Amino acid sequence: MGERVILKTPDQIAKMREAGRIVAQALDMIGRMVAPGVTTKALDSAVEELIIKAGGIPLFKEYPAANPRYPAFPASICASVNEQVVHGIPSERELRDGDIISVDIGVKLDGWCGDAARTYAIGTVGRKVKKLLEVTESSLMRAIENVRPGKKLRDVSSAVQKEVESNGFSVVKQFVGHGIGLDMHEAPQIPNYVCSPRERLDGYFPDLTLQTGMVLAIEPMVNIGRSEVLVDKKDGWTVYTKDRTMSAHFEHSVAVGPDGPVILTEL
Ligand code: MG
C-alpha cells in the first residue's frame, strides 16, 4: 500500500460512482436471493454474471493471497457466514434459517474501483444478532458523517468505535478499511478504532486532514464477543472470530465532496 493519498478529480469520482452503482445493484440482488437452502456459490455465480453483463470486472477474483503459500481468491464475492468475519470463500454450503451472511463485492469499471459490503439475516435471527447488524450499519453511517473536508481521519475511526463499543460489541482490529481509486487498496489505512501512538499501523495517518477528492472505503467489522480474529489455516483466506461469536460487516466507498460525504456504492 502506497504512502501517498491520491486525490481524485470530479470526473474520476463520477467514474467511480458508476463502478459503485454496479456494486450496489449486486448487493441489492443478494438481498433478494438470500434464503434457507441457497448456496453461497449460487450467490457468487449470480453476482459474477451481473458484473460482467454490466461491463465490469470482479475485483476479488484471482486476488493474490497475503501469504504466497495459498492460492489466489477463487471467487467474485466474499461470503462470510456467522462467525466468519470477512474473506469467506463461496461454496456448496447452504444458508439456514437463523444464519447471517456478510457479502463483500468489488467491481472495476473503466479502470476505476468500487467496493462495498452488507450483512444479511436469513429468516429469523435472535434479538442480539439483529442488534449486531443494526449497530454495525449505524457505525458505518456515523463514520460517513465525518467524511468532509477539514475532518481528521481519526474522526472517522473514532465514530465507528464509539457506536460499536457503546452498544457492547467489539471492533475487529486486524483488518481495516482503505483508500480506493485505480487500485482497490490505496493509502490511507482506515482502522475501525483509534490507534494508540505506539501501535503505528503502517499507512494509517490519524492526523490526516480529509480533503475534497479523497475516496475512502470504510468497513466496520463488528463482533458480538471479543475482537480477536484468526485466519483459517486450511484455505488461507477465511477470517473468523476466535471465540466463534457472530460477526457483521458493512462497507461503502465514499468520496470527500466539497460539501460532505458522497456515497459511491449506492444506486
Ligand atoms: Mg474494502
Q: Which pLDDT value is given to residue 195?
A: 84
Here the cell at position 106 is 468489488
178 alpha carbon to ligand 1 midpoint, in Å? 6
> What was the pLDDT predicted at 203?
76
pLDDT, position 196: 75
What's the pLDDT tens digit per position in 63-119?
999 899 999 999 999 999 999 999 999 999 999 999 999 999 999 999 999 999 999
Q: What pLDDT band is residue 205 in, cutting at 50, 70 and 90?
A: confident
| C-alpha dihedral (154, 238, 105, 152), degrees to nearest 10 | 0
78 CA to middle of ligand 1, Å?
Answer: 11
Contact 189, 203 (CB under 8 A): yes
- Ligand 1 center to 176 CA (angstroms): 8
pLDDT digits (tens, 9 = 90+) for 12-68: 999 999 999 999 999 999 999 999 999 999 999 999 999 999 999 999 999 999 899
* Average pLDDT, integer, range 198-222: 89
The overall average pLDDT reported for the chain is: 96
Ligand 1 center–CA 150 separation, angstroms: 23
Compute the distance from residue 129 Cα to the ligand 1 centre, in Å.
23
239 three-state secondary structure: strand
**Cα separations in angstroms, 206 against 7, 49, 197, 214:** 17, 39, 9, 15
DSSP single-letter state for residue 235: T
Weakest mean pLDDT among 3-7, 90-94, 118-122, 178-182? 3-7
Supply the pTM of this predicted model.
0.97
- Model confidence at 188: pLDDT above 80: yes
Question: DSSP code of 152?
Answer: B
Task: For ligand 1, an ion, list residues with CB under 5 A.
Answer: 115, 217, 219
The rounded distance, in Å, linking the Cα atoms of 207 and 204 is 9
pLDDT in the model for residue 201: 74
